[in-house]
A and B are shown apart, each in its own frame.
Chain A
Amino acid sequence: MTETPSEALLRHILTTAKVFACVGVSMNPVRPSNYVARYLGLKGFRVIPVNPGHAGETLYGETVYPELSAIPADIPVDVVDIFRRSEAVPGIVDQALDRFPDLKVIWMQIGVRHAEAAARAEARGVTVIQNRCPKIEYQRLFGELRMGGFNTGIISSRL
């Protein structure tokens, strides 16, 4: 459980994961969660939306599910990305561990943390990222943020 995951770990997650389930994603196109879902989709990830208020609707080509346990078993979710208040994290983590035996990562967005739930997930061999945004990390690690003058922390003399 770490709030400062290594660059190598983040890179590994973002180059090997294929399917994200975004819990608490908004249908409103100017909400940050919607931005992230759309962005991950643009980058080639499959993004499964989870939001009980909009179950059955479609977001960026995928059906919205009311909760993680409603996601069909044939959708191999690698990363559960949590856009909910920290208090909601334990319930979501329990569902995630229950539903996806092969889950690789539980990712909590900026401002979202839960040490105890994180420890439970890690005990099951799931990597936990807290208080981070996969969109920002993707943009940082793969060069996009350089274009905006952000401090990517990347030093390299290789092409």
Chain B
Amino acid sequence: MSEQRSPGFDTLLIHAGARPDPATGARQIPIYQTTSYVFRDADHAAALFNLQEVGYIYSRLTNPTVAALQERMAALEGGQGAVCCSSGHAAQIMALFPLMGPGKNVVSSTRLYGGTVTQFSQTIKRFGWSAKFVDTDDLDAVKAAIDDDTRAIFCESIANPGGYVTDLDAMAKIADAAGIPLIVDNTTATPYLCRPIEHGATLVVHSMTKYLTGNGTVTGGCIVDSGKFDWSASDKFPSLSEPEPAYHGLKFHETFGPLAFTFHGIAIGLRDLGMTLNPQAAHYTLMGIETLSLRMQRHVENAEKVAKWLEDDPRVDFVTYAGLESSPYKAVADRICPKGASSLFTFGLKGGYEACVKLVDSVDIFSHVANLGDTRSLIIHSASTTHRQLTPEQQEAAGAAPNVVRLSIGIEDADDLIADLDQALAKATA
């Protein structure tokens, strides 16, 4: 490998974080199924515990299989480092944890996965944190929502369930002006379609459960740090800029510079919150990532065909796919995710709630499940499932109104998917 040439995305998918196993020469990354690691001697142990050297101590914090996945994710997103954890939801808490504190808030998009709306509107209150929800299409509203206690802006690049695309450049500009980081959930887009750090994001979170793993096998999450945010520029982020009592008064940002957030994620986040990814799950995800580009190309191709077909069908009221010429998000999508708008979108049925429920019960190839980003095509009626805990206003804002069905288009033959929807629509509207 010549020194100055930076490898392309598809090379990173296969090689980043991976190398032949130094102990055995094994070419595929071994699953290091161990809880703990032998120290060379007492000095080595002390240096590791003091964060003076990086190494393996105990698998709640670090594990070689998980570390390979972390490096791969950091490379794919163009960040400095990554911390993996047990689920996408865990990643969101892990991302907010170093930034927030009692009385602090996150300004968040209303267009989010329903579980995230619930996590942000209910559960984080137990930590004394809160979320202020805003329509991210309204930039003035986003600016107005930021106050002295705001510690981050949070949005999804391509939002679940509607597939709406957020103008990340605009969000980053607002976050920058306010001196706070932008956190982008890039689950639906994946780094193949969108690289939020290139649009100014500070942190990128993922539910790796979805397209990254790709086969619907394991849950996992990840936080990638761009390494670009100056945590010491204000007194807003004391966890990173002030002395840490648990490490003899060490200041993370001052000591680790651009690696500070990742170090903190391991040394405080995983150590004390314990939302660790296990090496088996990391292995499945590493295998999935190897084929990410190939799969995403087909996901997008199929989604475009199915969305166009649905849009032309008289039984269908509307289709939200941002890749359609008719989408109000088409222009933003062309800038944020020019290779395609992923394969997650919703459509409205003229028959309303009843027709939606019947449709979901009538499909043969589509699976009725609460997941997305599988090789299989998936269907769900969000209002009665994933977005059920939300108020009608929240459902509407999230794009999960009662007459709306969500699709996650897989990589089967598009014609078979269309035929399946056709026969199910016939039953649903009979």
1/0 per residue, CB under 8 A from A, across B266-291: the answer is 10000000000000000000000000
A122 to B76, CA, bound (A): 36
B7 nearest in chain A by CB position: A155
A17 in contact (CB, < 8 A): no
A151 in contact (CB, < 8 A): yes
1/0 per residue, CB under 8 A from B, across A28-50: the answer is 01101001001100100000000
Decide if B74 touches A155 in the complex (CB within 8 Å). no
Contact of B249 among A30, A39, A156, A157 (CB under 8 A): A30
Decide if A155 touches B16 in the complex (CB within 8 Å). yes
Q: How far does the Cβ of A63 sit from chain B's closest Cβ, in whole Å?
A: 22
Decide if A29 touches B248 in the complex (CB within 8 Å). yes
Decide if A149 touches B20 in the complex (CB within 8 Å). no
Decide if B19 touches A139 in the complex (CB within 8 Å). no
Query: Looking at the complex, which of B112-120, B255-263, B376-384, B400-408 is the stretch in contact with chain A?
Result: B255-263
A39 to B48, CA, bound (A): 11
B185 in contact (CB, < 8 A): no
Contact of A149 among B11, B15, B25, B66 (CB under 8 A): B66
Contact of B52 among A38, A147, A148, A154 (CB under 8 A): A38
Contact of B266 among A8, A149, A152, A158 (CB under 8 A): A149
A136 in contact (CB, < 8 A): yes
Chain B interface, DSSP helix/strand/loop, else mixed: mixed
Could you say which residues of chain B place their CB within 8 Å of the CB of A6? Answer: 3-4
Question: Given the known A-B contacts A136-B259, A155-B11, are A32 and B254 also in contact in the complex, defined by CB atoms under 8 Å?
Answer: yes
Could you say which residues of chain B place their CB within 8 Å of the CB of A136? Answer: 256-257, 259
B370 in contact (CB, < 8 A): no
Could you say which residues of chain B place their CB within 8 Å of the CB of A73? Answer: none
Question: Given the known A-B contacts A39-B52, A136-B259, A157-B15, are A152 and B71 also in contact in the complex, defined by CB atoms under 8 Å?
Answer: yes
Contact of A147 among B12, B54, B82 (CB under 8 A): B54
A8 to B243, CA, bound (A): 36
Decide if A148 touches B19 in the complex (CB within 8 Å). no
Decide if A110 touches B257 in the complex (CB within 8 Å). yes
B267 nearest in chain A by CB position: A148
Decide if B47 touches A42 in the complex (CB within 8 Å). yes
A43 to B54, CA, bound (A): 13
Could you say which residues of chain B place their CB within 8 Å of the CB of A32? Answer: 254-255
Question: Given the known A-B contacts A151-B79, A155-B15, A155-B16, are A146 and B67 also in contact in the complex, defined by CB atoms under 8 Å?
Answer: yes
B348 in contact (CB, < 8 A): no
1/0 per residue, CB under 8 A from A, across B7-18: the answer is 100011001110
1/0 per residue, CB under 8 A from B, across A95-113: the answer is 0000000000000001000
A62 to B343, CA, bound (A): 62
Q: Which interface residue of A42, A144, A149 has the most chain B CB atoms within 10 A? A: A149
Decide if A149 touches B259 in the complex (CB within 8 Å). no
Q: How far does the Cβ of B292 sit from chain A's closest Cβ, in whole Å?
A: 17
Interfacial residues, chain A to chain B (CB-CB below 8 A):
6-8, 29-30, 32, 35, 38-39, 42, 110, 133, 136, 139, 144-159
7 chain-A/chain-B pairs, Cβ below 8 angstroms: A147-B64, A148-B70, A149-B70, A150-B70, A150-B80, A150-B262, A158-B20
